[in-house]
Amino acid sequence: MVTTKFHRARVLALASVLAVGAIALTACSSGSSGAAPTAGGDATGQLNILVSSAPGSDAGFQAVTKAFEKKYPKVTVNLSAVPNENYNQARSSRLTAGSVDIVVAAPRQVPSYVPASNEGDDARLADQGGYLDLTNESFMKSFNPTVLNAAKYKGKNYTVPTGLSYYTGMFYNKKIFTDNNLKVPTTWSDLLKTCAALKAKGVVPFGIAGKDSAGVMTLGVTEGLYPSADAMNTLAKDLYAGKTKLNTGKPLDLMKKVQTLYGYAEPNFAGVSYATMTADFVNGKFAMMPDGTWNTTTLQKSGAGKLDFGYVPLPSSDTAADNANLGGKVELSLAVPANAKNQKAAIQWLDFFTKNYKLFNDQAGFAPAVQGATSDPFYTSIQPYTKTFLPAWDTIWITNTKAGPAASVPFNWAGIAPMGNADAQGAADAAQHDWQAGLGK
């Protein structure tokens, strides 16, 4: 498991509502053909919105809703924020009853080389006309086109992205770097020299939360070694075809680099929680912290706002250009069920949300998904790495449900000591064994 917000988004993006999914599918597929009403006009009636809960996004949705009801007094918005662990069940029951007009959804297309059994219920819902097609809605033009392209399902946009999170980078303490006359590393060799210089001066280079988010660092290492969506898609395809193995070549090199960075982390990091790691970074106990941008607001508010930090890609390649981008994911994506009773108000709310995006994102604190949207200066500082939206490896990888536990995540970082009991080769061998078993070859 990783951080609360990161874990929430992963669950909502990838989990299937298996227990009641078939009922929800039947209910939604009995709705319209998927053609959405256009934005405009005067909406009326009850509008029911169901989202998963987090303090920032909850406050953002409430701010938009309050302003929406002021502009459209004939609409009463019932906004329900459900705890993450209960969201899928709540959503399924509401979809079945046809009692919700906007939900969180993320239909994901399964490539032809992946067994169809790995397809999620959101994809099945979209296939059966369970979500309205929002592709041609006027407000969709406000969003970053590379983000919309990444979120498409079989060529159509069924969801509205509320924001973005990047998590293949690392926070760094600017004061520690300045005090030690260090520059921010842009290549793997530079990173190793930086780590060695810090260690020589008694400064711990890295902090890692072994209890919650150790896997995030591995995603950062992956990004530099496979620096494009095409490269990651080819890797995934070749793994399923058996052309690439997890325990040789570049995949093994990746694991060795993870092991190297583990060696520069604070002692006993396997037992460190995410909250402790964050507090230790704020208190200057280490120089760098592989993490996601979702932690930015916490860092800004900690230490009375005195912490001076930056965020850059984790450089795992010796070619600087390969380390020039941050990978991430679309945060909570909103869809309109085909059996929604107030589709008109739902479309009107989404249009209003887009035009008043700042109301939401000032509270939610995401990297903006709307083009030209003003946001926290921190996100301006990372724009050189985010001009083109690049999905992180875990949003491309689809786990083979028939594979064993060592191959259940995108590279077996949990098998490397001190997270596990093996070195990089041993952890990679275990992953390849379990992956091969899942392929039946």
Within 10 A of 319 (CB to CB), how many other CB atoms are there? 13
Give the orientation angle of helix 249-262 with respect to helix 424-439, to 10 degrees.
140
Q: Are 321 and 200 members of one domain?
A: yes
The enclosing H or E element of 334 equals strand 333-335
How far is 89 from 74, CA to CA, in rounded Å? 30
Q: Are 411 and 362 members of one domain?
A: no
Examine residue 413 and state whether it is found in any structural domain, yes or no: yes
CB burial of residue 160 (10 Å; 0-12, 13-18, 19+):
buried
Q: Are 193 and 317 members of one domain?
A: yes
Examine residue 58 and state whether it is found in any structural domain, yes or no: yes
CB burial of residue 106 (10 Å; 0-12, 13-18, 19+):
buried
Q: What would the pLDDT profile of 242-289 be if each residue is shown by its tens digit?
A: 999 999 999 999 999 999 999 999 989 999 999 999 999 999 999 999
Examine residue 344 and state whether it is found in any structural domain, yes or no: yes
CB 281 within 8 A of CB 299: yes
- Which residue stretches of the chain have pLDDT < 50? 1-33
Examine residue 159 and state whether it is found in any structural domain, yes or no: yes
Alpha carbon separation from 36 to 102, 335, 342, 412 (Å, rounded)? 13, 11, 11, 43
The enclosing H or E element of 326 equals none
108: which 2 tokens? 């994901």
349: which 2 tokens? 């709310």
Q: Are 175 and 77 members of one domain?
A: no
Examine residue 393 and state whether it is found in any structural domain, yes or no: no
Enclosing domain of residue 238: 169-325+399-439
What is the per-residue pLDDT for 112?
A: 85
Indicate the pairing of strand 169-173 with strand 309-313: antiparallel
Cβ-Cβ contacts under 8 Å for 85 (sequence gap 6 or more) = none
DSSP 370: B
Prediction pTM value: 0.85
Q: What would the pLDDT profile of 294-329 be if each residue is shown by its tens digit?
A: 999 889 888 656 899 999 999 999 999 999 999 999
Indicate the pairing of strand 45-52 with strand 102-104: parallel
Examine residue 391 and state whether it is found in any structural domain, yes or no: no
Total structural domains in the chain?
2
Give the orientation angle of helix 357-364 with respect to helix 343-355, to 10 degrees.
70
The closest of 246, 250, 257 to 404, measured between CA atoms, is: 246
Which residue's structure tokens are 């020299």?
193
Q: What is the 3-state secondary structure (H, E, C) of 45-57?
A: EEEEEEEECCHHH
Q: Are 13 and 68 members of one domain?
A: yes
Report the CATH number that the domain containing residue 212 is assigned in CATH: 3.40.190.10
Examine residue 392 and state whether it is found in any structural domain, yes or no: no
What is the per-residue pLDDT for 16?
A: 36
Q: Are 374 and 350 members of one domain?
A: yes
Q: Are 316 and 345 members of one domain?
A: no
Examine residue 174 and state whether it is found in any structural domain, yes or no: yes
Q: Are 271 and 372 members of one domain?
A: no
Q: Are 183 and 319 members of one domain?
A: yes
Q: Are 213 and 149 members of one domain?
A: no
Phi then psi for 391, rounded to 5 degrees? -70, 145
Q: Are 178 and 253 members of one domain?
A: yes
How far is 47 from 57, CA to CA, in rounded Å? 18
The enclosing H or E element of 82 equals strand 75-82
Q: Are 119 and 175 members of one domain?
A: no
What is the per-residue pLDDT for 302?
A: 83
